[in-house]
Amino acid sequence: MMTHRSIYVIGLWVGMMLIGGFTTSSVAAERYGYEPQRVVDAPTAGMIDRDRLSLSTRTYDGGGTMVFLMYGIKAGKTQAFAVGFSVGADSLVGNGSMKARFNVQAKFRFWNEEHDTWKPALAVGLDMQGYGPYSEEYERYQYKSKGLYGVVSKNWHLGYLNDSNFSFGNLGLHFGLNYAFEQRKDEETGFNAFWGFDKVLWERSVIIKDPCTDRSTRVSQPVVELMGEYDFGLNDDRPDGRFGEPGRQGYLNAGLRVFLFSRWEPEMSQLKPSLILELYARNLNKNNGDVSREFGLSFQTDLQFRIN
């Protein structure tokens, strides 16, 4: 049975969806040349472009560091596929014993969003990377991986202020179900649910002049983005409170993305973000210890493999 808190969170998500229904539909990738692949921990239906490499890092408690590497592959006219791996290393910084663990990542999107409709993007994936320090006793990270998951995402551009150049930016909403595989030692169920949002707080317009055609193009570029997510923790509420507290309180996380550098892609007529600073506050409701402050960097670039 879900708690009142879980019901409130679902109600908030539905309410935001209804508000979004009165705004102008937008697909984030077409407006910004960028789709977030995660909120904080929770995956989205966002993808990286074909022949594009995404490399991101993140710190966590105890001097640990994670590295994520994903590569985008075109799977069809509307489908998209990405594969990669992640590495988590406790005590990479500091004087503790360091041990690295490799995990696989894969995502397949078979529904794309559509303009001016309610049709969201839908993706399924495999994410074996948990977060936080690793427990040898329970063979799991402090926060479980999402494992096998399915997620729907929908984006809206909230329009402009009184026909001015001031933009309210993009709002993205995400909801998913997942099955984690780490329940063997902690005797928990594997099924769980999560939701999240990302909201561009500040975007700017940039005029780009194509040196080949001598034509100018006005494009939008995100500068600062706010994220928030709630993991229901249905698979992490042991009675002894070893990890999540009993009562299914879940995990509340938030963060900011700051877009530092972008690269002009003339074929797409877009500025594609290439370097992003990420700041996170994990476990704001203190369900599993204290609040954790983390940061990371994300880098994207084109990388094509050619066989002659």
Predicted confidence (pLDDT) per residue in 200-256, tens digit: 998 887 777 666 666 777 777 888 999 999 999 888 876 665 676 666 578 999 999
User: Is the residue at 307 inside a domain?
Assistant: no
pLDDT tens per residue across span 67-101: 999 999 876 666 689 999 999 888 776 666 778 88
pLDDT of residue 12: 55
Predicted TM-score (pTM) of the model is 0.84
3 state DSSP class of 241:
coil
The number of folded domains in the chain is 1
Residue in this structure with the two tokens 């042991």, named with its chain if needed? 238
Q: The domain spanning residue 38 has which CATH number?
A: 2.40.160
- pLDDT tens for each residue of 30-40: 777 788 999 99
- What pLDDT was estimated at residue 168? 79
| Residues 6 or more apart whose Cβ sits within 8 Å of residue 154 | 17, 20, 113, 118, 120, 121, 172, 173
Residue 199 Cα distances to 45, 112, 146, 225, 283, angstroms: 15, 20, 23, 6, 20
Segment 149-156 shows an average pLDDT of 93
192 domain residue, yes or no: yes
Which residue stretches of the chain are H helix? 4-20, 28-32, 183-186
Q: Residue 19 falls within a domain, yes or no?
A: yes
Domain that holds residue 212: 4-302
Q: Which two tokens stand for residue 246?
A: 């009993």
Question: Looking at the domain assignment, is residue 308 inside a domain?
Answer: no
Alpha-carbon distance 285 to 10, whole Å?
Answer: 17
